[in-house]
Structure 1
Amino acid sequence: MIQIRPATLEDSLEITSLFRDTVTHINKKHYSEKQINAWASSADDQEEWKKRIDKYYFIIAEIESNMVGFAYLKNGNYLDGLFVHKDYQRQGIGSKLLRIIESQVMMTDFEILKSDVSKTALPFFDNNYFEVIKKQKKTHKGVIFENYLVEKTL
């Protein structure tokens, strides 16, 4: 049974650990080692993660009190992150997090949910009726990444 709850500042270490593990294990089939290392190093900035938890709509998915995923919404309708633990992929966790995010967006009177998604995550978003607006190249810590701007009308 997947439980969803708001994130707290005390969750930040577990969130960053889940983020790092997911990026390094799940995304390696679509990104180089250099790209993965740059992306995963974002977990090092605990203060930035605490700001996200404090400032954004940030939710945690748990199974039997174990964190198995998280998602957060920025600026009312921008999904800035959705990550599922590497050992809990394809069990409905991402879909449940996404449904709650979508509900939150609609409750705040936005009609469109947007996100920048990785090559790895694109099939998930495609299966959840997001449209690719454009393929793009982004630079993170001096490393170029290819990803996609997607959106969904709610």
Structure 2
Amino acid sequence: MKIRKANQNDLDEILNLFTDTISEVNNRDYSPSQIKAWSSSSKDTDRWLLKIREQYFLVTEEEDCITGFASITNEGYLDTMFVHKNHQRKGIAKTLITALIDYAKENQLKEIITDGSITARPFFEKHGFKVIKKQMVNRKGIEIANYKMKKLL
């Protein structure tokens, strides 16, 4: 597995991975209408390009195919973390979270905050994140549950 910083040429592959993962992995915890509303954010390509440019945004690859991605802001907000539906349980998310934690420590951040999905909550808890609160976010008029979570560094 190779890990590297993302660039704008990765955008299409990142967005496909994002929508496929939500549709195929998160569907056990979210309804079809929630999946549709959540994945619709892939249409805002300018927003995603801004994330790639301004965040510490990493991708993992196998045989020149992106298998996962994750990003964190300079302030310590873990914004994205997704692993390809066909590459679950291979240590990709662990590799990504380790790299983001290392980045946060190198930048003398005291904590990492994220809004973890129901699906991702056990993974984040395994890596030292604590639930601050359950929350409902509105996407396209649809309420979607997630968890505000924090890891102290």
TM-score interval for Structure 1 and Structure 2 normalised by the shorter chain: over 0.9
Superposition misfits of 4+ residues, deviation over 4 angstroms = none
Name 2:28's counterpart in structure 1: 29
Shift in Å at residue 45 of structure 1? Answer: 1.5
Name 2:121's counterpart in structure 1: 122
Task: Give the superposed CA RMSD.
Answer: 0.9
**Which amino acid is 2:85 matched to?**
K
Kindly indicate whether residue 53 of structure 2 is the aligned counterpart of residue 54 of structure 1.
yes
CA distance in 2, matches of 1:115, 1:75: 13
Q: Which moved further from structure 2: 6-15 or 67-76?
A: 67-76
Shift in Å at residue 74 of structure 1? Answer: 1.9
* TM-score, length-scaled by structure 2: 0.97
Structure 2 unmatched ranges of 5 or more: none
Name 1:71's counterpart in structure 2: 70
**Which amino acid is 1:33 matched to?**
P
Shift in Å at residue 29 of structure 1? Answer: 0.7
Structure 1 unmatched ranges of 5 or more: none
* TM-score, length-scaled by structure 1: 0.96
CA distance in 2, matches of 1:142, 1:54: 29
8 A contact 2:6–2:52 mirrored in 1? yes
May I ask how many residue pairs the two structures share in their alignment? 153
Name 1:40's counterpart in structure 2: 39
What secondary structure does 1:90 align onto? coil
CA distance in 1, matches of 2:103, 2:127: 16
Q: Deviations over 1:98-149 (max 9, x none)?
A: 0000011111111111100000101111111111111111112211111101
8 A contact 1:38–1:140 mirrored in 2? yes
Name 1:140's counterpart in structure 2: 139
8 A contact 1:58–1:73 mirrored in 2? yes
What secondary structure does 1:110 align onto? coil
8 A contact 1:13–1:46 mirrored in 2? no
Shift in Å at residue 64 of structure 1? Answer: 2.0
Percentage of pairs with the same residue: 40
